[in-house]
Structure 1
Amino acid sequence: MFTRHHGVWPKELPKTMTLPKTSVFTNLAVAALRYPDHPAIIFYDRVMTYRQLLEEVEALAGYLQEKGVRKGDRVLLYMQNSPQYVIGYYAILRADAAVIPVNPMNRAAELEHYISDTDARICLAGQELAGFIAPLVGSTHLEEVVVAAYNSYIDPDTDLSLPAEVAAPVPKLEVPGLVGWDEVIGAGYVPGPHTAGPDDIAVIPYSSGTTGAPKGCTHVHRGVMATACHRAFWNLSTADTVQLSTLPFFHVTGMTGSMNSPIYSGSTSVIMTRWDRTTAAKLIERYKVTGWTNIVTMAVDFLSNPELGNYDISSLKTIGGGGAAMPAAIAAKLKNLTGLDYIEGYGLSETMAATHINPPDAPKAQCLGIPVFDVDSRIIDVETLQEKGPGEVGEIVSNGPQVTVGYWNRPMETEAAFVEIDGKRFFRTGDLGYYDEDGYFFMVDRVKRMINASGFKVWPSEVESLMYRHPSIHECCVISAPDPKRGETVKACIVLTPESEGKTSAEEIIAWCKEEMSAYKVPQLVEFVAELPKSPTGKVMWRALQEQEWQDQASA
């Protein structure tokens, strides 16, 4: 067991944690029993208590079971941050089914994959997204889409600036297979007994890999429970904690830090559907927000707001996140303004958020943190798998209660993702790093072909797979390119088909990509080339292209 970090372990916390042997849904049931009239959610000034939240979860769970959802079935959750997201998530768990969180930026090709890979028959979708998935009803396994209008859960008298999708009125649904959220909640169905336990599947977030198609990271209830509990204890959360929820709930960091952990504590989540730095400042002041989990780019934008001085944000007690290293100048600005350190952490979809977090009283800058409760992390040689010592760079591997039990329906990829050390199963993160003498872990590079654009992870092989659908593309290779704002951005090197040469523009390719994939995956740069460099075995030498791109930009 890696224990080097025990010297800087938070003094008020135990080094090991006994986790509840119950489902994640049970956390909501317990919170509603303990704090029935306490605010669970505040959404654009409308308060929803724990009693009200549980009532709607039960109603939706009853409907899902009435529609044939059984234990272990998968249900898509395709919407933005909202009370309905929380209700939908916990209703799926209450129905003993598994949540398939879908990125709201996903479009037709990606949605088809989720449906076919999970055999999902029902989707809970935001009204602004329903049009993208509605055509798949009947033509795939999908049978029904429950459509939620965020507007029906706000305070109509709010003075806050509303995103367009929140301001939009409740729509009339005239397409077969679509049913309104309010109709479903009001139907009065009652679910059967809740039977899911700690070893049943709870959530399957999707993470792309080097094989192209996204793959599901299977998490059972005990794994999701682990990070919910870990985060609550690490931040010393109580029922009086107020969390600003700005990270998307479909992503494991937002799911854990801004939804599951607050519900475990019985605390309050102040939910924003879309990021807006001024609205965030108003909410912090209005509701005395004490904690905020974000990504670095969000914190940078917040602190760059020239109007920030007009708001009282002194209630903040903890602020942190990840996605990229926090620039030293921004961290200093935060410290001067609030007296708080930005607490960075590290985790993956495969680990249901954090495996490492900086100790609140002794954080290190641009550092992943230390392994949290019951997490054993090591650094190993990528090729030999031999363990390395302090300061030596290798692949980060982790063993812990929150680690995925495997990739959904992919036994070979599951086997390849783990290595045995000292009789324990360690997940291979694909990230290169090292730890120092004190046991703090640091990131150096990535083993896998991942582009980090403003904290969004883009997998080139997935983008290439989608781009090959374009009739004018003969070959393509997606690489990273330096970007002053995003850190890295996506570039596509393309060989056109002979009949398309001179007739297809970069702008046309980019416009097509915007229709076919999530916005953060869309290549911002397109270069047409006569051929792609290949190895003697015929593999595209992506690294050579990428290194040349960065060298060219550096010398420009």
Structure 2
Amino acid sequence: MPRPHHRFWPKRLPHALTLPKTSLWDNLATSARRFPDKAALVFFGRVLSYAQLQEQAERLAARLHALGVRKGDRVLLDMQNCPQLVIAHFAILRANAVVVPVNPMNRAEELKHYITDPDARVAIVTGDVAEDLAKADAALPAAYQLAHLIVTQYTDAFDPASDEGTPPAAWRDWLLARHPLPALEQGQVLAWTEALANYLPLPELAVGPDDLAVLPYTSGTTGLPKGCMHPHRSLMHNAMASAAWGNGTADNVALLVVPMFHITGMVSVLHTAIWLAGTLVVMPRWDRDLAGRLISRWKVTTWTNIPTMVIDLLGSPHFDQYDLSSLVHIGGGGAAMPQAVAQRLLEQFGLRYVEGYGLTETAAPSHSNPHEAPKQQCLGVPFMSCDARVVDPETLQEMPPGEQGEIVIHGPMVFDGYWKRPEATAAAFIEFEGKRFFRSGDLGRMDEDGYFFLTDRLKRMINASGFKVWPAEVEALMFRHPAIQEACVIAARDAYRGETVKAVVVLRAAHKGQVSEQDIVDWCRENMAVYKVPRIVQFVDALPKSGSGKVMWRSLQEAEARQ
């Protein structure tokens, strides 16, 4: 089938890339050798050079090796964006091990799975989440418990007393606190500074393109989150491709505010910048006025985000005080950019918002809009080295332009499969024209120009401000509440988040009148990541069910849509 999008392909770029036979660690080592004194990371005014980043990552790698971490071992990494996350990420790779990125919004009940499923024995965390991780660890059988925990405080990376070291007032209790180290039931706990204070020998670098590098977890329509097996080569491809697609150079200054525990922040921002030897201006969380100040102060040139961030920044009462003239690239995904906002960016700043599309399974982008010819509210065209099609989900026949079907993806960015889930892996792939294609679970169409558009989902999922919430996972957690007999989680419209989480709940007879909707919300806040928490709880006497007894969630979703 012809590929009409090649007519719009940037003439400066090849359609596919040749990958180096090296590991992701080599990208940092090369950038540090070429640009030792260049700023790698900026965090509340403190600058860490490439040479310093490499040195600290090597010291932590030596410590991990001394603690028994060996090739292929999985190491948990649980923290918000900060320099320590970058140091630890590359230290794990340098120790020939595998990064298991964990969302720091997860609570103890959720964290158990991230210890047991990857068979992790070592974790690196910030003080604000260390207690929850220790609590999760204590609830596990001895055979699954952690052997080592390394804990850093955010102030290990910046000086709160400096002129630029002052975080937003709402963050001070969180960022400036120095949390006491928790105890592990049968393991050792090390402070970050103690872990790095060593002259231990480094192991030989023994990993290459085909070795497992990262094991990010993604949820789905059933059960607990699954680990996506990404070797060095899949992340390498998308880091290199993102750099080329965005005209990147070593003089890139990127605002890093999308979370690095998520595949987009990890690949499209972190690894892309390290490949280029660019500078990362790191934000631990989103704050519109801090973002405005940082873009102005550090002359940020590129900003990958989710559209709600842009909307929020443009709505700041202090917006006229910020200088965005240094920005030459702005884009992102996770949710559609409203056309009016994209138009304002174009008219006021000359910036075309470049939307893209990807999944945890595709190491972030599988599609992106060409900078030279973007379309609004569009996924873009198949990315470099990527072959994407739209097929009938039942017959798997390719659909003609304009017709809806499932988006399937083939290319070097596609993961190897789900960790310890051979059946799920087999179900996620199809053979098509002699190639292995990943089934995205998203419904879309391709226009006459070869651009892809999202139309619906095959998978049951809620998109709240770019965070993917999987109803089956939320329901499984809610069933642990003693008052809940049944729960069905659906999407509700939300003016700011796009969608938000609603739970339709049947209470056990003994608890009716004893438990309120707010009680359920409060319990959920204590037991799951805040973005998964139902904002709306509705009590009903019964859930609609099919003849086979399955909850008919779609009828509840349709009723919600009609309201």
Please report the TM-score for the alignment, with normalisation by the length of structure 2: 0.96
2:167 equivalent in structure 1:
161
Given that 2:109 and 2:136 are in contact with CA atoms closer than 8 Å, whether structure 1 keeps it comes out as no
1:407 equivalent in structure 2:
418
Q: Structure 2 vs 1, CA of residues 344 and 95 (structure 1 numbering), >3 Å: closer, same or farther?
A: same
Give secondary structure in 1 for the equivalent of 2:41. strand
1:448-489, Cα deviation, whole Å (9 max, x unpaired): 000111111100000000001111111111111112221111
Q: 2:301 aligns with which of 281, 286, 290?
A: 290
Q: 2:519 aligns with which of 508, 511, 518?
A: 508
Given that 1:2 and 1:376 are in contact with CA atoms closer than 8 Å, whether structure 2 keeps it comes out as no
Give secondary structure in 1 for the equivalent of 2:241. helix
2:375 equivalent in structure 1:
364
1:134-182, Cα deviation, whole Å (9 max, x unpaired): 2244644212211111112114413343433664144443635321101
Q: Does 2:130 match 1:126?
A: no
Distance in 2 separating the partners of 1:154 and 1:338? 32
Moved more, 299-308 or 391-400: 299-308
Q: Structure 2 vs 1, CA of residues 236 and 79 (structure 1 numbering), >3 Å: closer, same or farther?
A: same
1:476 equivalent in structure 2:
487
Equivalences for 1:172-191 in 2 at 5 Å? 172-173=180-181, 175-176=183-184, 177-191=188-202
1:89-138, Cα deviation, whole Å (9 max, x unpaired): 00000011110000010011211001110110111001111111122446
Q: Structure 2 vs 1, CA of residues 335 and 237 (structure 1 numbering), >3 Å: closer, same or farther?
A: same
Q: Deviation of residue 2 (structure 1)?
A: 6.1
1:392 equivalent in structure 2:
403
1:94 equivalent in structure 2:
94
Q: Deviation of residue 5 (structure 1)?
A: 0.9
Equivalences for 1:48-63 in 2 at 5 Å? 48-63=48-63
Q: 2:153 aligns with which of 145, 149, 156?
A: 149
2:347 equivalent in structure 1:
336
Given that 2:137 and 2:146 are in contact with CA atoms closer than 8 Å, whether structure 1 keeps it comes out as yes
Distance in 1 separating the partners of 2:444 and 2:62? 47
Given that 2:40 and 2:279 are in contact with CA atoms closer than 8 Å, whether structure 1 keeps it comes out as yes
Amino acid at match of 2:151: V
1:50-81, Cα deviation, whole Å (9 max, x unpaired): 00000000000011111111100000000010
Give secondary structure in 2 for the equivalent of 1:131. helix
Distance in 2 separating the partners of 1:537 and 1:48? 60
1:377-436, Cα deviation, whole Å (9 max, x unpaired): 000001111110100100000001010100000000000000110000000000000111
Moved more, 429-438 or 486-495: 486-495
2:270 equivalent in structure 1:
259
Amino acid at match of 1:390: P
Distance in 2 separating the partners of 1:434 and 1:537? 33
Distance in 2 separating the partners of 1:506 and 1:173? 36
1:383 equivalent in structure 2:
394
Give secondary structure in 1 for the equivalent of 2:228. strand
Q: Deviation of residue 542 (structure 1)?
A: 0.2
Distance in 2 separating the partners of 1:144 and 1:38? 33
Amino acid at match of 2:399: K
Distance in 2 separating the partners of 1:22 and 1:166? 39
1:27-63, Cα deviation, whole Å (9 max, x unpaired): 0011011111111101111110000000000000011
1:114 equivalent in structure 2:
114
Given that 1:4 and 1:437 are in contact with CA atoms closer than 8 Å, whether structure 2 keeps it comes out as yes
1:505-545, Cα deviation, whole Å (9 max, x unpaired): 11111100001100010011111111111111111100001
* Structure 1: gaps spanning 5 or more residues: none
Equivalences for 1:504-543 in 2 at 5 Å? 504-543=515-554
**Percent of paired sites with the same residue:** 53
Distance in 1 separating the partners of 2:2 and 2:99? 33
Give secondary structure in 2 for the equivalent of 1:431. strand
Distance in 1 separating the partners of 2:201 and 2:294? 35
Q: Structure 2 vs 1, CA of residues 165 and 238 (structure 1 numbering), >3 Å: closer, same or farther?
A: farther
1:488 equivalent in structure 2:
499
Q: Deviation of residue 24 (structure 1)?
A: 0.7
Give secondary structure in 2 for the equivalent of 1:129. helix
Given that 1:247 and 1:295 are in contact with CA atoms closer than 8 Å, whether structure 2 keeps it comes out as yes
Give secondary structure in 2 for the equivalent of 1:363. coil
Given that 1:40 and 1:267 are in contact with CA atoms closer than 8 Å, whether structure 2 keeps it comes out as yes
* Structure 2: gaps spanning 5 or more residues: none
Distance in 1 separating the partners of 2:516 and 2:174? 36
Amino acid at match of 1:157: S
Distance in 1 separating the partners of 2:15 and 2:238? 14
Given that 2:115 and 2:137 are in contact with CA atoms closer than 8 Å, whether structure 1 keeps it comes out as no
Q: Deviation of residue 259 (structure 1)?
A: 0.7
1:214-242, Cα deviation, whole Å (9 max, x unpaired): 11111000001011111111111111110
1:73 equivalent in structure 2:
73
Equivalences for 1:295-374 in 2 at 5 Å? 295-374=306-385
Amino acid at match of 1:5: H
Given that 1:356 and 1:372 are in contact with CA atoms closer than 8 Å, whether structure 2 keeps it comes out as yes
Distance in 2 separating the partners of 1:102 and 1:505? 32
Given that 1:137 and 1:144 are in contact with CA atoms closer than 8 Å, whether structure 2 keeps it comes out as no
Given that 2:130 and 2:181 are in contact with CA atoms closer than 8 Å, whether structure 1 keeps it comes out as no
User: Moved runs in structure 1, 4+ residues, more than 6 A?
Assistant: none
Distance in 2 separating the partners of 1:161 and 1:141? 35
Distance in 2 separating the partners of 1:489 and 1:32? 43
Distance in 2 separating the partners of 1:242 and 1:2? 38
